[in-house]
C-alpha cells in the first residue's frame, strides 16, 4: 500500500478513506455502507480509533471482507488494537506531542507482535491539530495538539518526521472536530515534505474534502461525516473522481 500511495502522490492522484470506529459501527449499517461503496468506491477502509471500548475489530474486518475487496488499514490507539486480518497498519508516531509513550514506547511493545502479524507497516508521522475543543486523542495521549494557526510549526514537525524516516504524514483535527485542519497548514506541510499526506478530522462535506485535497492532501479520511450523513459517501467519491479527472485534463 505504501508503494501505491507513493505512486498516487507522484501522479497527483487523490484518494479517500472511510474510518470505521468499531465502537460505533453497527452490523446492518456497515453492510449498507459496504454495498454503497460498490457504487461509490473508496480507496481504503481505516479501522480503529484512539479509545475503543468495544473491541470488535476482527468482526468489523470480517464483514468488510465479505462485501468488499477494498484494502483495510488499522488505525490503532494502542497495541491491543493489532488485528492480523487487516492488510496494513498505520504505525503512528505522535510527533506533534511530547509523550514518549506515543512517540516510541507503545511501538516497542507492539514491534514483536507486528513482526509476526504479516501486516504491512506504514510508518506514519501523526500530527494532531487543535480544532477548537479538546479531542479524545489529545486527552488519551496526554499531549498538546499543534496550534491551529501555526502552519510553520506543522511544516517543521513534518520535516523532522520525514528526516527520521517516517513515510506518511497524517494531519488530524481529531474525530468529530469542529473545524478541519486549515488549508494553510496542509499547504505548508505539502511544501515541506515529499511523503504522501493524509488529512482527517471534521471533514463532513464534499466541499471540505475538496479544500483539503486542493491544499495538498493526498488522502482524505472521513469518519463521523459518513456515519451521520448517508449522502456524503456519493458526494465524497464524486469529489475525488472529479478532482482526478480535472488533474488529468490540466
Q: Taking contact as CB under 6 A, which single stretch among the options 22-30, 174-182, 184-192, 233-241 is the one that binds ligand 1GP?
A: 174-182
Nearer to ligand 1GP, 155 or 203 (CB): 203
For residue 243, the Cα-to-chain-centroid distance in whole angstroms is 19
For residue 182, state whether it binds ligand 1GP (rule: CB under 6 A).
Answer: no
Applying CB under 6 A, among 97, 125, 206, 225 the residue interacting with ligand 1GP is 225
* Interacting residue with ligand 1GP among 70, 93, 175, 182 (CB under 6 A): 175
Q: Which residues of 75-91 are buried (b: 16+ CB within 10 A; e: fewer)?
A: bbbbeebbbebbbbbbb
Q: Interface with ligand 1GP includes 48 (CB under 6 A)?
A: no
User: How far from chain centre, in Å, is Cα 33?
Assistant: 18
Whether the CB-CB separation of 60 and 46 falls below 8 Å is answered with no
Contact status: 186 vs ligand 1GP (CB under 6 A): no
> Nearest 5°: CA angle at 210, between 209 and 212?
65
What is the rounded CA–CA span in Å between residue 141 and residue 123?
18
CB of 115 vs ligand 1GP, minimal distance in Å: 26
Nearer to ligand 1GP, 124 or 157 (CB): 124
Residue ranges in contact with ligand 1GP by CB under 6 A? 19, 172, 174-177, 200-203, 221-225
Amino acid at each position: 500500500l505504501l508503494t501505491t500511495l507513493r505512486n498516487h502522490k507522484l501522479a497527483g492522484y487523490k484518494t479517500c478513506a472511510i474510518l470505521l470506529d468499531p465502537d460505533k459501527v453497527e452490523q446492518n449499517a456497515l453492510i449498507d455502507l459496504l454495498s454503497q461503496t460498490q457504487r461509490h468506491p473508496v480507496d481504503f477502509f481505516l479501522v480503529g480509533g484512539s479509545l475503543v471500548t468495544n473491541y470488535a475489530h476482527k468482526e468489523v474486518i470480517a464483514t468488510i471482507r465479505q462485501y468488499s475487496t477494498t484494502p483495510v488499514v488499522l488505525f490503532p490507539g494502542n497495541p491491543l488494537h493489532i488485528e492480523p486480518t487487516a492488510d496494513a497498519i498505520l504505525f503512528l508516531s505522535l510527533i506533534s506531542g511530547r509523550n514518549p509513550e506515543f512517540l516510541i514506547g507503545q511501538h516497542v511493545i507492539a514491534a514483536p507482535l507486528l513482526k509476526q502479524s504479516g501486516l504491512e507497516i506504514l510508518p506514519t508521522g501523526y500530527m494532531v491539530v487543535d480544532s477548537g475543543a479538546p479531542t479524545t486523542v489529545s486527552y488519551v495521549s496526554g499531549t498538546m495538539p499543534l496550534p491551529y494557526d501555526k502552519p510553520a510549526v506543522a511544516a517543521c514537525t513534518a520535516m523532522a518526521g520525514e528526516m527520521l524516516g517516517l513515510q506518511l504524514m497524517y494531519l488530524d483535527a481529531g474525530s468529530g472536530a469542529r473545524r478541519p485542519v486549515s488549508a494553510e497548514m496542509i499547504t505548508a506541510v505539502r511544501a515541506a515534505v515529499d511523503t504522501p499526506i493524509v488529512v482527517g478530522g471534521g471533514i463532513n462535506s464534499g466541499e471540505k474534502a475538496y479544500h483539503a485535497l486542493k491544499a495538498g492532501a493526498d488522502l482524505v479520511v472521513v469518519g463521523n461525516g459518513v456515519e451521520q450523513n448517508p449522502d456524503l459517501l456519493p458526494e465524497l467519491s464524486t469529489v475525488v473522481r472529479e478532482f482526478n479527472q480535472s488533474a488529468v485534463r490540466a
